[in-house]
Chain A
Amino acid sequence: MSRFSRQSFLGAGSERRLADATIGIVGLGGGGSHIVQQAGHVGIGGYVLVDPDHITETNTNRLIGGTLADLETEARPAATKVAISERLLHGLLEKPRIVALHKSWHDATEKLKLCDIIIGAVDSIIERDQLERFARRHLIPYLDIGMDVHPLPGGEFLVSGQVVLSTPGHACLRCCGIVTDERLTEEARKYGAAGEAPQVVWSNGVLASTAVGLIVQLLSPWFRSTQNFVYLDYDGNQGTLVPNMRMELYQQRVCPHHPAEETGDPLFDIRDYSRGVVEREAARIAAAALPPIKPRWWLALWRSLFG
């Protein structure tokens, strides 16, 4: 019995396919940390983990893997969210391939480019828009999860959210109406004044679990599917997760917002790339050729004797 025998229905070779895959997770808070944990459990082997934040007290209601011992004390700073995720994965996988980047994803694009799938668990609309555009440019499927809590009349609340699988060429977050110019403008107008949006562990868990199912279905499918576009709506009050009406409607839609002509780096020049390869190789050889530094024992002895 292997560790993964209970998921052998994923097919012969599924263990290797999942172990060979590399996923990028941008945002390691309430949603992203769930995805890290579950991806580790199913045996995905490679991770690019990106988040610029440290854990804070208000994260501890939902950040999977984070503990009260990770909070800032007088003796030490708070743990970074990437360090918490990294620790979680080391507890679940024998030899995970982890690139942990405690920075904005805008400064992590070199590593994210090499991912098989990118998962965005970020709060803002503009971040989602930019991250999806980046993924499309590099022909990387993008999975987006997001949750909201809306006030209702009478002092009640609606917990809702969505999971979207956006694959190159097919319907995108703009097609879904999740990213709109109006929402981007509104967000920019409120920038810095929005405060902390409500977030809870159970709805994040539903959305993240659904996303992990879609990741596994992409990498090692357990049923035949041709759905290149998935858009699921979560209603936390009803306890339902159902296809949005656009999911069926846009299944064959060719996305007008991210044309194929935008694929690749518009400023790329193969001559610069080749020069870079040669320079990096020269630097590697030069570093390897440096003579070992011999300890100046006589100098140390002189100083110890005569100050």
Chain B
Amino acid sequence: MDEHVDGASAVGRVSTHFKITGTLLAAIRADLARPHAFAAERVGFIAAGLSSSGDDLLVLARGYRPLLDGDYQINPAVGAMMSAEALRKALQWAMKDNIALFHVHTHGGRGRPGFSGIDISEQKRFVPNFLQVAPQCAHGALVLSDKIAHGHVWLAEEEAPKVITRFTEVGVPLVKWSAL
């Protein structure tokens, strides 16, 4: 068979490791647990720095910004609808601070969380915009449970997202889990 390297498929084999301190993750969970006046769930953005070792990509969380109360729109079809202004602020944050940005929300519970169909279609709509304003960074989305997390990462605007393969909650104790 004639073998060749397809850029997308080669990059598809990368291992992505998302690391976040226990303190930051607890603060995010606490923020997302707050009720909103009309939205069924809260969302926010995690800023991260990036590094790599060979084919291993390290996503290293730095901070978190919640969506402000006024930046939600009424839409009964989804748990939380961001306004265009909220998206503009996030894009500006990514561009100005040269950061990887990950949309985050929680499904609660203690098991392994997963994205809903609506989550995935919404991510496809807005995450590639981050790659337009901060193309030097990877961007993505996370969904949390009360114990662990699951996520997608986009390495390039034109490519499909990859599943984040490993997570580490850096705290006492050190908690690790794998997506596979």
A residues lining the B interface (CB < 8 Å): 20, 110-111, 113-114, 116-117, 137-141, 167-170, 217-221, 225-228, 260-266, 268-271, 273-274, 276-278, 280-282, 285, 289
A-B contact pairs, 17 of them (CB 8 A): A110-B53, A168-B21, A217-B173, A221-B172, A261-B63, A261-B97, A263-B48, A263-B62, A264-B49, A264-B58, A264-B60, A265-B52, A268-B136, A274-B11, A278-B5, A278-B11, A282-B5
- Asked if A268 and B52 sit within 8 Å, CB to CB, the answer is yes
Enumerate chain B interface residues (CB-CB to A < 8 A): 3-5, 7, 10-11, 13-14, 19-24, 48-58, 60-63, 97, 100, 135-138, 155-156, 168, 170-174, 176
A270 with B174: in contact, given A139-B19, A265-B51, A277-B10 (CB under 8 Å)?
Answer: no
Give Cα A271–Cα B138 distance, bound, in whole angstroms. Answer: 9
Contact in complex: B173, A167 (CB < 8 Å): no
Distance, CA A172 to CA B52, complexed state (A): 24
Q: State the majority secondary structure of interface residues on B.
A: mixed
* In the A-B complex, the 8 residue pairs with the closest CB atoms: A264-B49, A281-B10, A263-B49, A265-B51, A139-B19, A282-B5, A269-B136, A260-B62
A113-B53 contact in complex given A139-B19, A285-B3, C-beta closer than 8 Å: yes
Interface residue from B10, B48, B172 paired with A218 (Cβ < 8 Å): B172
Tell me the bound Cα distance from A285 to B56 in angstroms. Answer: 19
Chain A residues near B23 (CB-CB < 8 A): 169-170, 228
Are A140 and B62 in contact, CB atoms less than 8 angstroms apart? no
Contact assessment for B173 and A218 in the assembled complex, using a CB-CB cutoff below 8 Å:
yes
